Structure 1
Amino acid sequence: MRNNGIGSWTARRARMSPDRVAVVHGGERSTYRELHERATRVAHVLTGLGVTGNDRVAYLGPNEPAFLETLFGTGLVGGIFVPLNTRLATPELAYILADSGASVLVHAPTHTEHAESLRDAVPHVLDHVTYERLLAGSSTEPVDEPVDQDDIAMIMYTSGTTGRSKGAALSHANIHWNTVNLLIDVDLAGDEVTLVNAPMFHVAALNQTVLPTLLKGGRVVLDSFDPARTLSTIAEHRVTYLFGVPAMFQAVAAAADWPGADLSSVRTMICGGAPVPEKVITTYQERGLVFLQGYGLTESSPSALFLRAAESDRVGSAGTPCFFTDVRVIDADGDDARPGEPGEVILHGPNVMTGYWGKPDATAAVLSPDGWLRTGDVAIADEDGFLYIRDRIKDVIISGGENIYPAEVEDVLHKHPAVADCAVIGMPDGRWGEVGRAIVVRREPVEPAELLAFLDNRIARYKIPKSVVFAETLPRTASGKLRKSALREEYGENA
């Protein structure tokens, strides 16, 4: 094959295991042969619309087969896939379409209203009916456009918690090496049944679960997230592998059916996307489950650190570097921080993005000439090289000259039985410069004084927030990260 990118994966799998089930969605099942045929039809449709090498094709919709068909079909013609965050408002979607220069937008029936408003932002818009009609009349003749590993495969837009979203340009090589990293860390098998209910427009769901499973010839069960349905789907489909962000795993463990849920088929659960509270980890370990966590970001495709099964007793650690990724923790001078001292995490490896699409200045700000990526995340390494992610640099609270890492305080607060969710932000203080404020979602009635007393003797007193406010819910991105900027706006000094 002349196509050495991910667009060729369905063809390679179809010749190895054509009759294995590849994708399950609702009551429908597609084999690898059928998935490849559909992707080939998409490729011919895109060619008919004038899509050639490096042209961008966007997709807007939930986890469903058309997402994967468009991804692989785009890859077959050498195009660049642009998955869109379904939670974004129309102006935000229009910005991404313009920024990426997408020439085609494929969308699901659930997003017709959005798509209609975007018709002026992109030359070709394919709704579900048009998409199916064009595929039905399309060719199944093989497509084998030349695609090199260094060509861009997809542009994945960051969640944009501060400022405009930036598109991380990931090459076919980036995705290839990320997949290798994952398969070294997690022993996925050819009979894997992977539940995918985190949104595929985010890098972890797509690159840490879907693509590795399809490479191995397993099956992916596509769904949207619902805590109770997660438990029933695991039992019904005998799910062996799943990924989630901490908030998802917290919600599943809080579901009414959790105590009696049949989880006997599950071999591996991995968690990431935000600092993982210790209580979440132990809740699953107490059920005898292999609950692993890792650390990564969109810009690294996302693999960076992983805590492997044999090391899962190191609760709270994000692990050690993935096989083909190098990681350092550096101080303000750029030197390696000593064990136990916080510093910024920087990454290097073949999975690190080529840069931000169309933004050389933003790329230069985070990517050094020799390929080291500055993450903006703070971590501490122990004597054995295991890293503990503390927080985002911009979220660190400096109180009386001491650094307070909100994630550390949040982790302890999560252990109080009345706390369903929480976040800590900084507040100006005349004496200390800054002090912490906890925003808490209650599971049951509790007073602020009780929560502050709970923290005493569990963390240093200077880390204890000076105030507590209650909220019905906390704003999060689609990938589960707390939107600290929104919390500061609602509960901070100017609230």
Structure 2
Amino acid sequence: MHNHGLGAWMTTRRQKTPDKTALIFDGQSTTYRELADDTDRISAVLGRRGIGIGDPVAFLGENSPEFLSVMFACAQLGAIFVPVNTRLAPPEVTHVLTDSGARALIIDPALHERAVDGIAAAHISHVIPTGEGTPERPGLSPLLRGTPFGHADAAVGHNDPAAIIYTSGTTGKPKGAVLTHGNLIWTAINCVVDYDVVSTDVALMISPLFHVAALGMGALPVLLKGGTMVLEKGFEPGRALALIQEYRVTMLSGVPTTYQMMADHPDWESADLSSLAKLTCGGSAVPTRILDAYETRGLSFSQGYGMTETSPGATSLSPTMTRAKQGSVGLPHFFTEIRIADENGVMVPRGTVGEIEVSGPNVFAGYLNLPEATAKAFTADGWFRSGDLGYLDRDGYLYISDRLKDMIISGGENIYPAEVENHISNIEGVTGVGVVGIPDDQWGEVPWAIITVKDGVELDTETVRAHLDRKLARYKLPKNVVVVDELPRTASGKIRKADLRARFGTG
């Protein structure tokens, strides 16, 4: 076997646990043998279209078995998997397809209109719908039925690119983070070690796999260990509670919003949650009210910190330390290191706030086609500069103090104000804009736009949102727009975001 990356996983699982259930989707079970067979066929379908080592292959669709088999097929071929966020607006999809240089696109037909411009702009010649497709454009299902077995075994090492995951940038354009096979493999190993993932685990996957957290810290560790995933297209709290009971789910991953919605559901009190043993929560700190609700049911959380560039896990907080270290995001993952530096790059003592820097085999290779941004993201000795501020306590537990990049996390989705501000600035009559995150009981925080306008111009929330609709994903649209006479600025003219958060975050 020449493939030492993710491309070897399905072949090995087919040998070790061929009849074990790998996936349950829409009530249908898929064994590891079946998942491996589909992976082989898809690699043959793509290979016949000239897809090979280093070729980007995009996937635009909700959670499905096809998502995983296409990803593993790409890994077998040495191609690069490019999952596309299904919530992106058409111009954002176009950017991902063109910037990644995608040579092929596997797409849910329901989302095709969103990608029309991107397909043309990126000159994608191979567009394959999921499902049956049409006589003119056969879908993935008939193509697989008509394709004989053929296992691809490209020479792939841990340093070769496996995926390009797009993360919003402070300049307003999403950047493609290049994750290697080693990045994703070591992230999965970190999770197996720190979250005690075992082959008997049944994991309910309610988060979208196009997010690196669900993929790298949810799906891959379970498949590595030969566990079972109950895969959902989306999240509905009542259905999630029912699935936990039906399949005796042992593992669940989510963000504070999803856990809160489950606890608020009418079926919460009567649901049988006795099988649950491992709950992981990311995106932001778990509020006390959610901790209380789950501890009442005998359940505790593992929490953590990370970002796309760390594939994504950097730290984890054990459930046994949830109360003792409340507010902390935990210790570095087993094969990851954390340190804190001042503005000059000098390491600071425990308890001192500085920039969080990360090192380990899970740290990404760099940003696609952005050598300057990549260089700025790393220190001279190779540590990744997170752009976040925090400190380590005397026991080495990390606490987040602030975000240098002003990133907003709303319901687990990352929103970078600069991207939203760029679009609002193009609205006729707007003279200044600052977008900040405001605390919200349901979503953790939501974006608000504070703007100044020309004399005589009237703008309200609905007008601004209508202007941004189809230009940005809906979760990025400001929840509220406030017109002010003047924006607080520094001597150099930069908007004082802290002042805006302090003024509007208490209302």
Match of 2:180 in 1: 171
For 1:46-72, what per-residue CA distance to the aligned partner results, in whole angstroms no more than 9, with x for missing partners? 111110101000000001111001101
Structure 1 residue 260 corresponds to structure 2 residue 270: yes
Match of 1:352 in 2: 363
Q: Secondary structure at the match of 2:164?
A: strand
Structure 1 residue 326 corresponds to structure 2 residue 337: yes
For 1:309-337, what per-residue CA distance to the aligned partner results, in whole angstroms no more than 9, with x for missing partners? 33233222110111111101222232233
For 1:61-103, what per-residue CA distance to the aligned partner results, in whole angstroms no more than 9, with x for missing partners? 0011110011011111110000000000111111111111000
Q: TM-score, normalised by structure 1?
A: 0.81
Match of 1:232 in 2: 242
Match of 1:74 in 2: 74
Q: Secondary structure at the match of 2:105?
A: strand
Query: Any conservation in 2 of the 1:273–1:481 contact (CA below 8 Å)?
Result: no
Match of 1:135 in 2: 144
Superposed displacement of residue 442, structure 1: 7.0
Equivalent residue letter for 1:175? L
Structure 1 residue 367 corresponds to structure 2 residue 340: no
Q: TM-score, normalised by structure 2?
A: 0.79
Equivalent residue letter for 1:101? G
Query: Any conservation in 2 of the 1:155–1:169 contact (CA below 8 Å)?
Result: yes
For 1:142-194, what per-residue CA distance to the aligned partner results, in whole angstroms no more than 9, with x for missing partners? 22121111110000111447511111101111111111111110111111111
Q: Secondary structure at the match of 1:304?
A: strand
Structure 1 residue 213 corresponds to structure 2 residue 222: yes
Query: Any conservation in 2 of the 1:275–1:390 contact (CA below 8 Å)?
Result: no
For 1:40 and 1:104, locate their aligned partners in 2 and report how far apart those are by CA, in whole Å: 17
Superposed displacement of residue 132, structure 1: 1.4
Match of 2:198 in 1: 189
Match of 1:9 in 2: 9
Structure 1 residue 158 corresponds to structure 2 residue 153: no
Superposed displacement of residue 29, structure 1: 1.1
For 1:197 and 1:159, locate their aligned partners in 2 and report how far apart those are by CA, in whole Å: 22
Equivalent residue letter for 1:15? Q
Superposed displacement of residue 394, structure 1: 3.6
Superposed displacement of residue 371, structure 1: 1.9
Equivalent residue letter for 1:351? N
For 1:158 and 1:489, locate their aligned partners in 2 and report how far apart those are by CA, in whole Å: 25
For 1:486 and 1:101, locate their aligned partners in 2 and report how far apart those are by CA, in whole Å: 31
Query: Any conservation in 1 of the 2:43–2:151 contact (CA below 8 Å)?
Result: no
Match of 1:202 in 2: 211
CA separation of 1:55 and 1:117: change in aligned 2, threshold 3 A: same
Equivalent residue letter for 1:322? H
Q: Secondary structure at the match of 2:103?
A: strand
CA separation of 1:65 and 1:441: change in aligned 2, threshold 3 A: same
CA separation of 1:490 and 1:9: change in aligned 2, threshold 3 A: farther
Q: Secondary structure at the match of 2:19?
A: coil
Query: Any conservation in 2 of the 1:185–1:322 contact (CA below 8 Å)?
Result: yes
Q: Secondary structure at the match of 1:247?
A: helix
CA separation of 1:254 and 1:332: change in aligned 2, threshold 3 A: same
For 1:359 and 1:206, locate their aligned partners in 2 and report how far apart those are by CA, in whole Å: 24
For 2:198 and 2:297, locate their aligned partners in 1 and report how far apart those are by CA, in whole Å: 23
Query: Any conservation in 1 of the 2:42–2:69 contact (CA below 8 Å)?
Result: yes
Superposed displacement of residue 380, structure 1: 2.5
For 1:334 and 1:488, locate their aligned partners in 2 and report how far apart those are by CA, in whole Å: 38
Equivalent residue runs for 1:36-47 within 5 Å: 36-47=36-47
For 2:297 and 2:48, locate their aligned partners in 1 and report how far apart those are by CA, in whole Å: 53
Match of 1:301 in 2: 311
Structure 1 residue 379 corresponds to structure 2 residue 381: no
Match of 1:222 in 2: 231
For 1:421-459, what per-residue CA distance to the aligned partner results, in whole angstroms no more than 9, with x for missing partners? xx9x9xxxxxxxxxx99946579xxxxxxxxxxxxxxxx
Q: Secondary structure at the match of 1:256?
A: coil
For 1:248-302, what per-residue CA distance to the aligned partner results, in whole angstroms no more than 9, with x for missing partners? 2122222221122211111100001223333323332232113110111100111
Equivalent residue letter for 2:223? L
CA separation of 1:103 and 1:438: change in aligned 2, threshold 3 A: closer
Equivalent residue letter for 1:272? G
Match of 2:49 in 1: 49
For 2:230 and 2:152, locate their aligned partners in 1 and report how far apart those are by CA, in whole Å: 27
For 1:440 and 1:42, locate their aligned partners in 2 and report how far apart those are by CA, in whole Å: 45
For 1:219-273, what per-residue CA distance to the aligned partner results, in whole angstroms no more than 9, with x for missing partners? 1111111122111111111111011112221222222211222111111000012
Match of 2:128 in 1: 126
Unaligned runs of 5+ in 1: 397-405, 411-422, 426-435, 444-469
Q: Secondary structure at the match of 1:379?
A: strand
Unaligned runs of 5+ in 2: 134-138, 418-434, 443-460, 488-499, 501-507
Superposed displacement of residue 110, structure 1: 2.9
Query: Any conservation in 2 of the 1:341–1:381 contact (CA below 8 Å)?
Result: yes
For 1:390-412, what per-residue CA distance to the aligned partner results, in whole angstroms no more than 9, with x for missing partners? 3312439xxxxxxxxx99xx9xx
Query: Any conservation in 1 of the 2:193–2:334 contact (CA below 8 Å)?
Result: yes
Aligned residues: 429
Match of 2:297 in 1: 287
CA separation of 1:303 and 1:382: change in aligned 2, threshold 3 A: same
Equivalent residue runs for 1:438-457 within 5 Å: 439=438
RMSD (Å), alpha carbons = 3.0
CA separation of 1:437 and 1:9: change in aligned 2, threshold 3 A: closer
Equivalent residue letter for 1:169? V
Equivalent residue letter for 1:219? T
